[in-house]
């Protein structure tokens, strides 16, 4: 079912509030904002500072696949130099956002609907986990491997994440390890398994260009 009016309200409030609480991860700029190459600053208006790409999320049907809708510098050029970006994450029942990292920013996740099991691993290999319910926030420290799992069997979940960088970057651990050209023997030794097992895992990941 679609988001309720109250959930939409929280969504709007977060879009307004998160930029003021985000942790900077980008270099400071010497101007109020960065004008795109080739653009005439005198011709810029409110449209430049408006991003409409999230409209599809509001009143949308429950997700059938794990989906991330981003508002980063790539999608929203006005964020260049502003040290903030957003993402709306939609999780069908039982879906997972696989282990990954954001090398340039902390992620602050706000769960607006459903439940999630989340976790991250620090540099001492300690795992920090938590089960979140709607209204909870969770911080994933910059650069650390983390994940989210919708543990509900019959309901979806929706979360909003803010990042302290206009280009936080995402490195997926599974696809980076198994979807690249790392030698099978090296992976087999690293994961203490055999080459055929590694090859079966690799078969599920398209090669990266």
Query: What does the pLDDT look like over 82-101, one tens digit per residue?
Result: 999 999 999 999 999 999 99
Residue 209 CA, chain-centre distance (Å), reads 22
How far apart CA 129 and CA 133 sit, in angstroms, is 13
pLDDT tens digits along 142-161:
999 999 999 999 999 999 99
| In the predicted structure, residue 183 carries a pLDDT above the cut 80 | yes
pLDDT at 79 over 90: yes
Percent of the chain with pLDDT over 90: 65
CA-to-CA distance for 49 and 78, rounded, in angstroms?
6
Asked if the model's pLDDT at residue 63 lies above 50, the reply is yes
d(CA 108, CA 23): 9
């Amino acid at each position: 079912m679609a988001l309720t009016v109250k959930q939409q309200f929280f969504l709007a409030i977060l879009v307004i509030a998160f930029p003021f609480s985000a942790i900077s991860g980008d270099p400071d700029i010497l101007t109020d904002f960065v004008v795109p190459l080739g653009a005439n600053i005198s011709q810029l208006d409110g449209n430049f500072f408006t991003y409409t790409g999230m409209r599809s999320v509001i009143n949308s049907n429950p997700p059938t696949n794990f989906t991330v809708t981003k508002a980063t510098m790539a999608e929203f050029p006005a964020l260049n130099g502003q040290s903030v970006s957003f993402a709306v994450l939609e999780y069908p029942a039982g879906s997972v956002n696989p282990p990954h990292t954001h090398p340039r920013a902390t992620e602050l996740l706000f769960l607006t609907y459903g439940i999630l099991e989340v976790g991250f691993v620090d540099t001492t290999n300690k795992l920090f986990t938590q089960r979140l319910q709607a209204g909870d926030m969770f911080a994933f420290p910059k650069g650390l491997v983390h994940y989210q799992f919708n543990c509900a069997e019959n309901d979806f979940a929706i979360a909003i994440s803010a990042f302290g960088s206009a280009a936080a970057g995402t490195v997926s651990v599974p696809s980076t390890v198994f979807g690249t050209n790392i030698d099978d023997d090296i992976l087999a030794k690293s994961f203490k398994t055999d080459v055929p097992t590694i090859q079966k895992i690799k078969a599920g990941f398209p090669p990266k260009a």
